[in-house]
Amino acid sequence: MTRFTPLLALSILAVQTVAFPQYQSLGGLSERELADILPRFTTVTPPSPPGPSNDTSVRLVNDAAHPYVPPRNGDMRGPCPGLNTLASHGYLPHNGIVTPTQIINAVQDGFGMDNSLAIQLTYSTMLVDGNPLTNLMSIGGKSPLTGPDPPKPAIVGGVDTHAVLEGDASMTRGDFFFGDNHSFNQTLFNELVAFSNRFGGGNYNLTVATEYRFYRIQQSIAENPTFSFISPRILTAYGEAAFTFIFFVDGRKADGQLSMEAALGFFRDGRMPDDFHRADGSKTSNLVDNSVDAIFAAHPVQPGGNNGTVNSYTLDPNSAGINDTCKGYTDFVNITVRSLYPNPQGALRNNLNKNLDLFFLHVAGQCSQVFPYGQ
């Protein structure tokens, strides 16, 4: 089965801008900041995404044009060490306010992620965490720099937003129930180190990933009464455990063994090691798919959650499992996206439909498209 499939078709969409209907509060910004950002707050029709990179070679990415610059006050950083790193090395804007096109280019150029996976991750996130009118998203918390919000219940909360794609049982971030759900947590990182010592000879590898992933799930079941582990979180949880030894290992080595020094740099600081070379972009898609299968198969946990008390993990028969690609896609569109945008109108509806078309690309070969807002 192909969970992360190659793209079959890319539709070409025109870029156009029209006047933004109305401004809402942009509290907290100085006049100079406002003058800088207001011109960006036009309604932007989402353009077609970049295609696959024509250069997937292993090459230096921590280069002179992309030095590490730590985030300044106000720069957005969040639960994804991949995106944080790309922003701190200038593959994404340093302030962490990004467009889908920028993300797709950055993950391809900086890490060798394949186009289909980049599109799947980017548009799923954009649909729930981004501003569909301005086509901007924060890679951390909510920011006025993504422009005036569409009507509630839309959140436009950035990548930190819990219970949509950010979720429980992260490797180095705490569960929502315990408060901070997106910052690097040294205690959890120490546990990852302990597992790497025990199962990886001091490195994080696939064996460590299988054990630590399972351990973090058991820990959440035992400690978090609101633990939730259903689609789409269940798939991203296994995916991210694999990303760590695929994308954070130097592409010249590519042996799936990540040193703790490099891991700390990525997870805590969003920083590439000196002389870091990206992975071979022609290989990462298969590596991710096969690794997810292996990590899951070692300790399969089916979708479910606690019921308000600890140690009450109950399977959720309504949730897609990690192999139910089309149900996962359909529920995401028909339930998750629609819960945030029950009845969009005008430019909002048009832009959501564009983003839904672009999100559908990654399953176009396998699933039928769902049209919650008409065609």
Ligand X SMILES: *[C@@H]1O[C@H](CO)[C@@H](O)[C@H](O)[C@H]1NC(C)=O
Long-range contacts of 209-213 (CB under 8 A, 24+ apart): 209/241, 209/242, 209/244, 209/245, 209/291, 209/295, 210/241, 210/294, 210/295, 210/298, 210/299, 211/298, 212/171, 212/241, 213/169, 213/171, 213/237, 213/238, 213/241, 213/295, 213/299
**CA distances for 27 relative to 24, 146, 148, 149, 218, angstroms:** 9, 13, 11, 13, 42
Among 204, 214, 238, 243, binds ligand HEM (CB under 6 A): 243
CB of 312 to ligand X, least distance (A): 3
60 binds, among ligand HEM, ligand X, none (CB under 5 to 8 A by kind): none
Shortest distance (Å) from residue 94 CB to ligand X: 22
The interface with ligand X within residues 42-81 (CB under 6 A) comprises 54
Among residues 66, 173, 271, 354, which is the contact residue for ligand HEM, using CB under 6 A?
Answer: 173
| d(C-alpha 325, C-alpha 361), whole Å | 13
Q: Which entry of ligand HEM, ligand X, none binds 251, CB below 5 to 8 A by partner kind?
A: none
Between CA 79 and CA 182 the distance in angstroms is 4
Asked if 82 is part of the footprint of ligand HEM (rule: CB under 6 A), the reply reads: yes
Write out the two tokens for 18: 């029209």
Compute and round to an integer the Cα radius of gyration of the chain.
20
Which window, 37-45, 58-66, 268-276, 322-330, contacts ligand X (CB under 6 A)? 322-330
Answer for which of 107, 287, 288, 333 binds ligand HEM (CB under 6 A) is 107
Number of neighbouring beta carbons within 10 Å of residue 6: 14
Contact between 165 and ligand HEM per CB under 6 A: yes
| Residue 42: CB minimum distance to ligand X, A | 27
Cα of 234 vs its chain's centroid, Å: 13
Contact range with ligand X by CB under 6 A, out of 65-73, 90-98, 127-135, 293-301: 293-301
CA-closest candidate to residue 82, choices 115, 52, 110: 110
Distance, in Å, from the CA atom of 155 to the CA atom of 181, rounded to the nearest integer, reads: 17
Asked whether position 174 contacts ligand X by CB under 6 A, the answer is yes
334 binds, among ligand HEM, ligand X, none (CB under 5 to 8 A by kind): ligand X
Residue of the chain from 330, 336, 350, 369 that contacts ligand X (CB under 6 A):
330
Distance, C-alpha 267 to centroid of its chain: 14
Question: With contact defined as beta carbons under 8 Å apart, do 1 and 323 qualify?
Answer: yes
Check residue 185 for interaction with ligand X (CB under 6 A).
yes
Collapsing DSSP states into helix, strand and coil, what is residue 89?
A: coil
Give me the least distance between CB of 106 and ligand HEM, in Å please: 8
Burial class of 279 by CB neighbour count within 10 A (0 to 12, 13 to 18, 19+):
buried
Q: Does 102 bind ligand X (CB under 6 A)?
A: no
In this chain, which of 40, 94, 162, 283 binds ligand X, going by CB under 6 A? 162
Q: Which of 44, 98, 206, 347 binds ligand X (CB under 6 A)?
A: 206
- Which residues lie below 8 Å from residue 360, measured CB to CB, with a gap of 6+? 329, 367, 369
Which residues make up the interface to ligand X (CB under 6 A)? 1, 54, 160-162, 174, 176, 178-182, 185, 187-188, 200-201, 205-207, 256, 293, 297, 300, 307-309, 312, 321-323, 330, 334, 370
**Interacting residue ranges for ligand HEM, rule: CB under 6 A:** 79-83, 103, 107, 111, 113, 118, 121-122, 125, 159, 165-167, 170-173, 236, 240, 243-244, 247
